[in-house]
Amino acid sequence: MNHDTLKTCARCGDFRPIPMITTMNPAGIALFSPCRLNNGIALKNRLVVAPMTHYASHEDGALSDEERRFIGNRAQGFGMFITAATCVSPEGKSFYGEPEAAGEQHLPGLRETARIIQAQGAKAILQLHHGGKSVVMHDGVLPYPAIPAGAQRLAPSADGEAREAAQADIRALIGAFARAAELAIRAGFDGVEIHGANGFLLQQFYSAKSNRRTDEWGGSRERRMRFPLAVVDAVVAVREAMQRPGFIIGYRFSPEEDGADGLTMADSFALIDALTEKPLQYLHVSLASFHGKARRGADANQTRMHLLHSHINGRIPLIGVGNLLDRPAILSAWESGWADFVGLGKAVMLNPDLAELLAQGKDGDIITELDPARADRYGIPERLWQLCLKAPDWLPPLKREERQKN
């Protein structure tokens, strides 16, 4: 591994190899080294289970047996495990079978989720989500997510079935994220990740494409940024009020959007500058490809990961992701020096024992394509399994012969 990568890793804090992993995995020593976050919390390595939507919670957002099975063996060997998007308020559900952290009724399931993850040795991070105007349904496999009778979807500006959030709504939405953070702390989670990516509510407020307001919550870039930053401040305030300085808070963002008014890399740089002023522990970029190049607002000859990591310049650790399916791709991403942590989703879906296979250098045992005939191997919830069989690009690829059949 080159000297530049070592410098990048050292930005996260204490850089010490773990002897057992070092001898098992000589090609990826630094990837399996511990790291101390800026709030003093130590992580055992730089591997992160990225959030995976599973469509498996009960209709009321409570934990199901399918969820227990799905998360029950996928955190082993990872430093952090970030849960599926978990809705902070029922009208914000975007996925059928989405878990919730909206009230006392969800506390037992949240406690169990945290325990399941922590029993496998990983830090348990609850991803806090509100979909705003966005509702996700795929090819008729899933019904629209249910929201309470009489409730209406909210957005920064009126859009389709969503109405523009009034001042009182905005205060309530910020409060919902704070309440969810409090529930996460009481449930025993090690931290939360604020979901500001993938076109959901926080990103809707920041984007001029979806935020057409003229009040203090819209207009200029700084005013559009006000809502996501207010959510961050509210979550941080909960941590302080509950005297939990070791509680991890991260923020996930998407760096670009399509359309003339969509977010550009320049917008993301501005958001990063504001977020690094907050007492956060990490940022997490959402990307389809780790090596994808920028389109607007920065050098289009450079990858987004390189540009983002260079702009952050060691101020805060960055989790990088993007279709990393096998050991060479994962190690290559790490050795690029563009990420302080590597997040893995599809590969974990296919390989519940992925961290062990990586550590032991068992390249040939890592599965990179989903075999429809081996449903028993993966432990994937039924609705998610049916979506996998349709092979959308955001889920693991099917075996080649199955793709040819389709």
Q: Which amino acid does the sequence have at 23?
A: T
Q: What is the pLDDT of residues 332-350, one digit of tens each?
A: 999 999 999 999 999 999 9
Average pLDDT over residues 286-305: 97
Tracing tokens 């000589």 back to the chain, one arrives at 26
pLDDT at residue 11 is higher than 60: no
Percent of the chain with pLDDT over 70: 91
Distance CA 254, CA 232 (A): 16
pTM: 0.92
For residue 117, is pLDDT > 50?
yes
Which residue, 24, 126, 132, 139, is CA-closest to 83?
Answer: 126
Task: Read off the pLDDT of each residue in 171-175 and give the average, rounded to a whole number.
Answer: 98
Q: What is the mean pLDDT of residues 247-267?
A: 96
What are the residue boundaries of the structural domains of the chain, listed by start? 35-390
Is the pLDDT assigned to residue 13 strictly greater than 70? no
At 404 the pLDDT is 52
- For residue 7, pLDDT over 80 is answered with no
pLDDT band at 136 (very low <50, low <70, confident <90, very high): confident
Is residue 1 pLDDT above 50, yes or no? Answer: no
- The predicted pLDDT at position 15 comes to 29
Q: What percent of the chain has pLDDT over 90?
A: 84
Centroid of chain to Cα 117: 16
Whether the pLDDT of residue 14 is over 80: the answer is: no
Q: Can you tell me the distance from the alpha carbon of 311 to that of 8, in angstroms, rounded to the nearest whole number?
A: 13
Closest to 101 in 3D by CA, of 113, 90, 91, 88:
88
- Asked if 79 contacts 139 with a C-beta cutoff of 8 angstroms, the reply is no
Tell me if 124 sits within 8 A of 114, measured CB to CB: yes
> How many Å from the N-terminal Cα to the C-terminal Cα in the chain?
41
Nearest to 224 by CA among 251, 196, 194, 198: 196
User: What pLDDT is stored for residue 2 in this prediction?
Assistant: 35
The number of residues in the chain equals 406
Q: What is the mean pLDDT of residues 118-135?
A: 97
Give Rg (Cα) of the chain.
20
Q: In the predicted model, what is the mean pLDDT of residues 319-338?
A: 96
What's 35-390's CATH class? Answer: alpha beta
Given this model, what pLDDT does residue 9 score?
43
CA angle 173-245-47, nearest 5°?
A: 85
pLDDT computed for residue 23 by the predictor: 39
List of residues 6+ apart from 16 with CB closer than 8 A:
33, 34
